[in-house]
Amino acid sequence: MSKRHLFNSPDGLVNKALRGIITYNPSLSLDEANRVVYDTTYDTNKVSIISGGGSGHEPAWAGYVGSNMLAASVQGDIFASPSTKQILAGVEAVPSNKGTILVITNYTGDCLHFGLAKEKANARGHNCRIIICGDDVSVGRKGSMVGRRGLAGQIAVLKVMGGAAGAGASLDDVHHLGVAFSQQIVSMAATLDHCHVPGRTEHGMLNEDEVEIGTGPHNEPGYRKLSPAPSPPELIKQVLTHCLDENDPERGYVKFAPGDEAILLASNFGGMSHLEMGALVDELLEQLEREWKMEPVRVCAGFLETSLNAPAFSVSVINVTAAAKNCKYSIEEIKSFFDARTSTHWESMAGSQAKRRSRKEQLAPAPKEEPKKTVHEKRDMKIEAALLETMLRNACTQLVEAEPDLTKWDTIMGDGDCGETLKTGATELLAALDRGLAKSGSVVKVLLELEDIVESKMGGTLGGILGIFFVSLRNAVECNVDMAGAEGPVALWAKSLSTALASLRQYTPAKVGDRTVMDTLIPFADAMSKSGFNDGVQAAIDGAEATKGMTPKLGRATYVGAGLSDSQELPPDPGAWGAMVAIRGLQSVWT
């Protein structure tokens, strides 16, 4: 796989791409600040459907905004979920009198950010629901706390829901249809090589005689490497067997009775030729008929949900008959929703060009900045300004310096965005310090700035976790600030950290031993409450080090656990290590 790109840096690439993508449909507008693409002609008296996720999967999701499909989409950085703030902007862009449904794939960062956005949207008066789609059978039932991850099967969910919403269906009916349909999908991917992300040095290439099955769409290593590479018929046979063998206790997620009507999706990950995709579809249909007595009633193939330039594909089979049994709609009605014409990439990237709008008209004005939260002096904690600034600068500088290692480790076990996410946050905080953030010595002011940085600039799973953590930490400091005078600042921090972690546990089941950032944060808080800051830092260091020997139980690293040998040495968890680097950076100045 070539590492060459026309645009060799990811800086500004997502926004530039969105500005170009929307031109195929003159009804679309772009809120560039929040990376929200929305349909200016959507009907407020119909259910609004919104989806989104990391960039690099184009045409998902901006390419599916239009009539009878999405009212809006929200894009994050490459392979990283958008922030809660961005998603809320998407909901606000297409308010509906009937209600809004957020439809996402099952990745921890997306679940955190879209889940929080749903709660905030409902608090603002929107009737908002969420559907989380997981269709990848490479994730078996055993040993996974997060369930199946999402592949291109989600696009079919968006299509039938969009058709139903366009026909005027109620919020309940569209939601029930989406849930029923999403639960009847089995998918699996295979790749000849991993994609290369612009600006990254790490790649994780496959050998020439290898093919990987169970590939993730974010460059996660697959379920199994096959060497020597099987023939195309044998590879497709293995993929279909994993999807359709109902006797497999790990992967028999969907049952197909004789005569059940099915839909087939074949998604090009970005690097397959049209020639080979045509041959792939032919082989799929031959084997489905010969081996599985199945003739799909609908077939869709092409660039449905890509992974940059990966020479890979995914296969999805959907039981329409079973879906109809679990909602109010008949098989024929579901097929009619699937067939509904749209103004999106689903029909053609040419779109409707009859009525052009200028590019300037399609770019929405930047939204007004929300007023910053104020610091209440009586609830603030103050420390010596020079010390505060030096501590923060040291922690940020060390995080920036650690980015190459964090990215390398996350490329091995995840999607490679952890280092960049933390570097972005650190760089933004350094810029705020340059503007005088620490001059007043206000700890609460710093925490408010961190909240804003995380919410606005840091997507992905780690961004979601840190967003909840810093909001809860700031609230806890304000509520318990009197402890600083009575028991000392260490007692205040210990209490506040424990409170913040308790809030975080409402959104993630992660605990010590699961190989996540919690392996650093929990020991740090526990030790600090018992014996002070220095022991807390040492506990954080020990916790991060311990992740080297842990089996992943949460997050994207879970999906590749089955493909690792017992003797394979793992790097530390990048989130846990990054948190430790920041904490250790604070200590080097504090002491």
Which of 113, 175, 176, 218 is catalytic? The answer is 218
Q: Report the length, in residues, of the chain.
A: 591
The alpha carbon of residue 282 and the mean position of all alpha carbons in its chain are separated, in whole angstroms, by: 32
Q: Using CA atoms, how far apart are residues 442 and 447, in angstroms rounded to an integer?
A: 9
Measured distance CA(297)–CA(156) in Å, rounded:
14
Residue closest to 99 by CA, chosen among 209, 187, 178, 196: 178
Contact 554, 146 (CB under 8 A): yes
Are 42 and 69 spatial neighbours (Cβ–Cβ below 8 Å)?
A: no
Structural tokens at position 256: 């197909």
DSSP symbols for 476-538: HHHHHTHHHHHH-HHHHHHHHHHHHHHHHTTT----TTSSSTHHHHHHHHHHHHHH-HHHHHH
Q: Which two tokens stand for residue 94?
A: 């297409």
| Sheet strands (E) in 204-260 | 211-213, 224-226
Helix H segments across 167-261? 171-182, 232-244
| Beta-carbon-side half-sphere exposure of residue 452 (alpha carbons within 13 Å) | 16
Class of residue 561 by CB neighbours under 10 A (exposed 0-12, middle 13-18, buried 19+) = middle
The answer to whether residues 517 and 575 touch, using CB atoms and an 8 Å cutoff, is yes
Is 218 a residue of the active site?
Answer: yes
Helix (H) or strand (E) holding 3, with range, is: none
Closest CA to 406 of 578, 554, 568: 578
Rounded distance between C-alpha atoms, residue 312 and residue 268, angstroms:
6
How many whole angstroms separate alpha carbon 561 and alpha carbon 571? 13
Contact 98, 104 (CB under 8 A): no
Please list the active-site residues: 218
